[in-house]
Structure 1
Amino acid sequence: MDPLEDVLALVGTTGRMSVALAGRGEWAVAFEPPDGVKFNAVRSGRCLLSVDGLEPIALAPGDCFLLIEPRAFTLASGPGVATIPAGPLFRAARDGIARAGMRPTADPGMDEATKSDAEGDDDVFIIGGRFDFGHRAGEILLAALPPVIHVPGDTPAADALRWALDLIDTEMRDRPMGSALVTEHLAMVMLIHILRLVDAPPTGWLAGLSDPVVAPALRVMHARPADPWTVADLARTAAVSRSTLAARFRQVVGRAPLDYLTDWRIELAADRLRRDDGTVAVIARGVGYRSESALSNAFKRVTGQSPREYRRSQTVAPPPGAHRPPPA
């Protein structure tokens, strides 16, 4: 299996679109630190993204970004503009669009120039949403990523995103049957493309996916985690010596191959425990341990809890789409 697919599935990744944002004239909207990973894409116009603790990023047409960490941020027409909070603005949205900035109200008594200005196009139009992840995402996925991922729209790397954004635009504008589900799936496509575009971090499993020595070993461990792997077995999959794989794996991923395998087995076991999928003994065999006690010892060493304690501490989350909070 593909390790990226494995991890996205394991951490329960879901995506949803929110209300769009249109800006005109001078405007600035302040957002609270988001739950999950926030994303926005500029469909037209230009604006400025300011994230707490980071340098501002100028956004142009076609640009998109992921805000990986829960930091407050502002979208604005430019620097130095007084902000308004996003919550009330988005709650007052009409036809799926929140509007920021001064806009004269068109009425029959206006002269033609003022009326034309009131009915004219917006300076900036931004679509957005968020990705939600299970509670383990921070350790096995998000920790490997920078706080903000910015994909400029005028680069070849953005071509893969453009078709998804165009389809999202169409779905959000026309609202055909099933549009909410379609846009959620398109958002997931966007996430995968953006993760492919990220420069690999210096260490971690994400870095290993692009390493010619480490990647084959990662793939077979994800494909057959219950197999009794040895470092020699894994080295043969990469066509290198045992010592070469061990050294390279530790250099790139930050831990030894079999330590990584243990951690991945524990993640799989934890997922099954959260879903109440079998007895501890059955789960142990399913993830590569010969006995319940062997899994229990490894599980407590990694998580600080026994499998039974962990299962009691978890609640089963509702299926994706069962509860949709209002857009914000």
Structure 2
Amino acid sequence: MDPLEDVLALLETRSHLSTNLLAGGEWAVRFAAPSGVKFNAVRRGRCLLEVDGVEEPLWLSEGDCYLLTRARGFTLRSGPGVVPVEAGPVFAKAEDGVARTGDGDDALLIGGRFSFGARAQELLLDALPPVVHVPAASSQAETVRWALATIDDELRDGRMGSTLVAEQLAVVMLVHVLRLHLAREPRTVSGWLAGLGDPVVAAALASMHEEPAHPWTVAELARRGAVSRSTLAARFKSTVGRGPLEYLTGWRLELASKRLREGSGTVAAIARDVGYGSESALSTAFKRVVGVSPRDYRNASAAG
């Protein structure tokens, strides 16, 4: 598995599609801060997106989509100066999966949200800007457009299993949106996501994610990227924000934490699986980084 696939799988990424929004004339809808990561795509027309705490509003055109990676309120509107109505009453009156506002059908938006398991904020969302925008005009956005069109078709036709198909396609769309954003705006991401944009660092990350239990050394990781130890260490630290082996420790403990939360396997077995030679070695690293022992962490998770 590559690092992006690994992290999304660890976080148990799921999509939840919401009611479509059909709007026309002069209109504006104010939304409360979403739970999870909100996404919308403009299937017809255009509108203005304003997000709390983001200075510049963003014009969205047909085929554009965006992700909101922070729990912030936002407003969609036909243009500046239109007084918004609250989203709750608008969506409460939805019929056949479509909420309506304004006068006419100039704009159509489909959307939903992505939910994640524990640790999503630190592992993924903090590495992204508050708004991730993929314009339809991007030469690399063809796959996103295909996913959006297929989601729209599934929801409109209502065939057997259409909701499941649409939700799985939304996760596919998320992966492509993240890929495109990394390609278009690499300087707006940080941490391991930024590392994926550096071929030397990406080779080291891929190796560690492929075999997290392997006793990696900086020299061995450097050979994967065909550079010296000092070059890898410097580029990894500069891009990811910590050294290669520090990152490896963190990733191993993320894997162990997930197993402990799920209650799968003994602490000794988990230690071996994630690259620690003994239960005591895992316990020492776990206490140092997480602050509690693996057993206490498991008990707290079960109680919670």
User: What SS does the corresponding residue of 2:53 show, helix, strand or coil?
Assistant: coil
Q: Which residue is equivalent to 1:36?
A: 36
- Is residue 203–residue 251 contact of structure 1 (8 Å, CA) maintained in 2? no
Matches within 5 A, 1:138-149: 138-149=121-132
Alpha-carbon shift at residue 316 of structure 1 (Å): 9.8
Which whole-Å CA distance do the structure 2 matches of 1:313 and 1:76 have between them? 45
Instruction: Rate the CA distance shift 1:232–1:148 in 2: closer, same or farther, 3 A.
Output: same
1:307 correspondence with 2:294: yes
SS at match of 2:214: coil
Higher relative contact order, chain-length normalized (CA < 8 Å, sep 6+): 1
Match of 1:128 in 2: 111
Superposition pairs for residues 313-324 of structure 1, below 5 Å?
Answer: 313-315=300-302
Shift of residue 150 of structure 1? 1.1
The answer (yes or no) to whether the contact 2:35–2:71 under 8 Å persists in 1 is yes
Q: 1:155 aligns with which of 138, 144, 158?
A: 138
Q: Distance in 1 between matches of 2:78 and 2:146?
A: 26
Q: Distance in 1 between matches of 2:301 and 2:85?
A: 38
Q: Tell me, what secondary structure is at the counterpart of 2:117?
A: coil
Q: Tell me whether 1:58 sits opposite 2:41 in the alignment.
A: no
Rounded Cα–Cα distance in structure 2 between residues aligned with 1:237 and 1:153: 36
Aligned positions of 1:81-120 closer than 5 A: 81-102=82-103
Deviations 1:112-170 (A, max 9, x none): xxxxxxxxx61110000110111201111111101001111122132221111111111
Q: TM-score, normalised by structure 1?
A: 0.88
Deviation at residue 315 of structure 1 after TM alignment = 4.7
The alpha carbon displacement at 1:234 in A equals 1.0
The 1:203–1:162 alpha-carbon spacing in structure 2 relative to 1, beyond 3 Å, is closer
Structure 1 unmatched runs, 5+ = 103-120, 318-328
Conservation of the 8 A alpha-carbon contact between 1:214 and 1:238: yes
SS at match of 2:81: coil
Map 1:182-261 → 2, pairs under 5 A: 182-198=165-181, 199-201=185-187, 203-261=190-248
Number of residue equivalences: 299
Bigger helix share: 2
SS of residue in 1 equivalent to 2:141: helix
Normalising by structure 2, report the TM-score.
0.95
1:15–1:197: structure 2 CA closer, same or farther, 3 Å change rule?
Answer: same
Q: CA RMSD in A?
A: 1.4
**1:77 corresponds to which residue?**
78
Structure 1 vs Structure 2: percent identity of aligned residues? 63
Q: Distance in 2 between matches of 1:95 and 1:218?
A: 46
Could you tell me which runs of 5 or more consecutive residues in structure 2 were left unpaired when the two chains were aligned: none
Post-superposition shift, 1:200?
A: 2.1
After TM superposition, the structure 1 stretch with the greater mean CA deviation from structure 2, 74-83 or 152-161, is 152-161
Letter in structure 2 aligned against 1:227: H
Aligned to 1:264: 251
1:174 to 133, 151, 157: 157
SS at 2:199's partner residue? Answer: coil
Which residue identity is paired with 1:6?
D
**Aligned-partner Cα distance in 2 for 1:270–1:185:** 26
**Contact 1:208 1:215 (8 Å CA) reproduced:** yes
User: Residues 315 and 57 (structure 1 numbering): CA distance in 2 closer, same or farther, change over 3 Å?
Assistant: farther
Provide the C-alpha distance between the structure 1 equivalents of 2:303 and 2:78, rounded to a whole number of angstroms: 42
Q: Is the 8 A contact 2:128 2:190 kept in 1?
A: no
Structure 1 segments, 4+ long, off by >3 Å, are none
